[in-house]
């Protein structure tokens, strides 16, 4: 099937990217960026399903999608990451061992966990323990989300982590297998910080960092929902200072030393702020190795590029990455 769709449910937007793939090439044929209502959240398994469904239906109104099968990304707000040491065993045994012996003893805010995992580093000496990173969420959340999307005429065939979607888009353009790097995925009210060493995912966390306190003047809606909230050097400087004060707070202590080293790279993506100004501010004020994630224009058809928002930038990095092999 040549057409593929990736969907991201960010804190602010419903994002959809439909691409056509052939051999090793991919073209973006259409995209949707539609604001989600302020009630879009999930706390203790309760969120406003009707409002969410209505928003998605509004986003899809008049859209001629070539397929209903979609890949969906969820962000770290709905995922708990656990780094644990477990006995070394054959790779095919880890999942059943983790389900039987580890999940029951974890202190989780829900009683119906589903998880995925990957092994971190190698075990060089027989008898040593293996480090494992688990990503855990609630099966009821996944079930409700899937049913809501089904109600909107979509068929979720795969659900993935937003940081991994972002990583695949970046790695598709540039090899990221060397040196540690941190991905800063920003939105109007929150940010998702994910971190990688030698191309291996080490974890992620959310930060609460509203942009409006740095806004000079009143926040107002624009016809283009991707128009940045923060567009001046003064506003971006305010946000940059607040960002650097908390960016490391959620990183595990044993990793902070690694990511504090001068060769750590930072990659910016998202929306809500002029990322080019933020990139320059971080370089000038913190001497950081910073760059922007590649823009969606790199894979747009000529027809779509002429009609696309001037602020589209890299705001579609996650849904595009969901469709990378």
3-state helix, strand and coil shares in percent for the chain, rounded to the nearest 5 = 35, 30, 35
The per-residue pLDDT for range 60-87, each reduced to its tens digit, is 999 999 999 999 999 999 999 999 999 9
Distance of alpha carbon 305 from alpha carbon 66, whole angstroms? 19
Distance of alpha carbon 270 from alpha carbon 293, whole angstroms? 9
* Under 8 Å between Cβ of 232 and 280: no
pLDDT score of 175 more than 50: yes
Confidence of residue 128 (pLDDT cuts 50, 70, 90): confident
Distance of alpha carbon 135 from alpha carbon 93, whole angstroms? 17
Q: Which residues of 236-274 are buried (b: 16+ CB within 10 A; e: fewer)?
A: bbbbbebbeeebeeebeeebeeebeeeebbbbbbbbbbb
For the packed helices 233-246 and 275-286, what is the interaxial angle rounded to 10 degrees? Answer: 60
Tell me what pLDDT residue 47 has.
56
Mean pLDDT, residues 78-99 taken together = 94
* Under 8 Å between Cβ of 138 and 75: no
Distance of alpha carbon 44 from alpha carbon 210, whole angstroms? 23
Which has the higher per-residue pLDDT, 41 or 168?
A: 168
Tell me what pLDDT residue 1 has.
54
Tell me what pLDDT residue 45 has.
39
Q: In whole angstroms, how far apart are CA 157 and each of 4, 26, 181, 304?
A: 11, 20, 30, 26
Tell me what pLDDT residue 50 has.
84
Contacts of 113 (CB under 8 A, 6+ apart): 103, 106, 136, 137, 138, 139
231, two tokens: 């567009």
Which has the higher per-residue pLDDT, 225 or 127?
A: 225
Tell me what pLDDT residue 246 has.
95
Mean pLDDT, residues 221-238 taken together = 94
The per-residue pLDDT for range 151-164, each reduced to its tens digit, is 999 999 999 999 99
Which top CATH class is 3-77+142-323? Answer: alpha beta
Q: Which residues of 32-54 are buried (b: 16+ CB within 10 A; e: fewer)?
A: bbbebeeebebeeeebeeeebee
CATH of 78-139, one of 3.30.70, 3.30.1490, 2.60.120, 1.10.260: 3.30.1490
* Three-class secondary structure of residue 96 per DSSP: helix
Confidence of residue 121 (pLDDT cuts 50, 70, 90): confident
Tell me the pLDDT of the chain averaged across its residues: 92
The per-residue pLDDT for range 8-63, each reduced to its tens digit, is 998 889 999 999 988 778 999 999 999 987 654 545 334 578 888 999 999 999 99
Among the listed residues 289, 291, 280, the one whose alpha carbon sits nearest the alpha carbon of residue 262? 289
**End-to-end Cα distance, the chain:** 14
* Under 8 Å between Cβ of 250 and 193: yes
Mean pLDDT, residues 112-127 taken together = 88
Tell me what pLDDT residue 44 has.
36
Tell me what pLDDT residue 46 has.
42
pLDDT score of 150 more than 50: yes
The per-residue pLDDT for range 294-324, each reduced to its tens digit, is 999 999 999 999 999 999 999 999 999 999 8
Question: In the chain, what are the domain boundaries?
Answer: 3-77+142-323, 78-139
pLDDT score of 133 more than 70: yes
210, two tokens: 């509203």
* Three-class secondary structure of residue 180 per DSSP: coil
Tell me what pLDDT residue 25 has.
87
* Three-class secondary structure of residue 265 per DSSP: strand
The 3-class secondary structure across 187-256, one letter per residue, is CCCEEEEEEEECCEEEEEEEEECCCHHHCCCCCCCCCCCCCCCECCHHHHHHHHHHHHHHCCCCCCHHHH
Tell me what pLDDT residue 181 has.
95
């Amino acid at each position: 099937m040549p057409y593929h769709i990736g969907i991201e449910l960010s804190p602010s937007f419903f994002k959809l990217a439909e691409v056509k793939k052939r051999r090793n090439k991919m073209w973006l044929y259409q995209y949707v960026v539609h604001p989600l209502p302020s009630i879009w959240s999930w706390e203790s398994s309760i969120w406003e399903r009707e409002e969410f469904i209505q928003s998605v239906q509004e986003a899809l109104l008049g859209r001629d999608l070539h397929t209903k099968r979609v890949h969906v990304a969820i962000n770290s707000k709905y995922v708990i990451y656990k780094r644990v040491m477990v006995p070394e065993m054959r790779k095919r045994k880890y999942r059943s061992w983790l389900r039987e012996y580890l999940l029951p003893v974890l202190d989780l805010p829900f009683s119906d966990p589903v998880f995925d995992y990957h092994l971190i580093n190698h075990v060089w000496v027989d008898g040593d323990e293996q480090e494992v990173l688990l990503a855990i969420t609630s099966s009821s959340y996944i079930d409700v989300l899937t049913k809501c999307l089904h109600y909107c005429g979509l068929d979720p065939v795969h659900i993935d982590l937003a940081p991994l979607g972002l990583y695949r888009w970046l790695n598709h353009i540039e090899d990221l297998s060397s040196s540690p790097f941190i991905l800063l995925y920003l939105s109007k009210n929150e940010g998702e910080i994910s971190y990688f060493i030698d191309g291996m995912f080490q974890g992620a966390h959310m930060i609460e960092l509203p942009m409006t306190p740095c806004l000079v003047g009143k926040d107002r809606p624009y016809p283009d929902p991707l128009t940045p909230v923060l567009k001046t050097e003064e506003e971006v400087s305010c946000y940059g200072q607040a960002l650097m004060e908390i960016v490391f707070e959620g990183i595990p202590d044993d990793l902070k030393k690694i990511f504090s080293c001068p060769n750590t790279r930072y990659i910016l993506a998202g929306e809500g702020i002029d990322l080019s100004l933020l990139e320059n501010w971080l370089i000038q004020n913190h001497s950081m190795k910073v760059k922007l994630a590649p823009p969606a224009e790199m894979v747009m058809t000529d027809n779509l590029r002429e009609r696309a928002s001037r602020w589209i930038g890299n705001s579609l990095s996650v849904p595009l990455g969901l469709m990378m092999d």
